[in-house]
Amino acid sequence: MPDGAAGGAIEAVRRVLDAVVSGVGVQATVSVAPGDEGADIAASLDGADLDVLIGRQGETVDGLQYLLSQVASRSQDGERLRVSLDVGGYRERRANALRDLAERAAAEAVEFGDEIELDPMTPHDRRIVHMALKDNTTVVTRSEGDEPRRRIIVEPAD
């Protein structure tokens, strides 16, 4: 994405986040910049009492991230842009918890020699679990089911 185009999309994302923060009535610092690692734009909100913008199991932050991606893309005449959004460090805390869950499931699968079925997860969360176990030669992972009930199965490797 050319730098000038990035500026327009970044500004569009910033305006939407400013409006959301104001509309919800929370105090937050809005940060929007060019992204890295799979995202064209990286946005974050920092402050106290931002749980309302995270939602139950991250549903609100996921929905807001999708909305921001649509806003960014439309500001660039439909060029698909991916926006990553973190609210109060939620994404990193969630990723760490999922990596811990993956390791516990792998240990349990190996210990009992049986497959372990994890609770349904979003595609983003499933990817974190799959990536956490990709180098573990004692287990294999697969996803089963249909959205929104798609889940990961961790089982001992053959």
- Do 32 and 10 meet the contact criterion of CB atoms below 8 Å apart? yes
The pTM score is 0.80
- Same domain? For 66 and 19 the reply is yes
- Same domain? For 74 and 19 the reply is yes
- Do 140 and 155 meet the contact criterion of CB atoms below 8 Å apart? yes
- Do 109 and 156 meet the contact criterion of CB atoms below 8 Å apart? yes
Calpha distance 12→41 (Å, rounded): 11
Domain that holds residue 70: 3-88
pLDDT digits (tens, 9 = 90+) for 26-69: 999 999 999 887 789 999 999 999 999 999 889 999 999 999 99
Q: Which two tokens stand for residue 70?
A: 């649509």
- Same domain? For 23 and 100 the reply is no
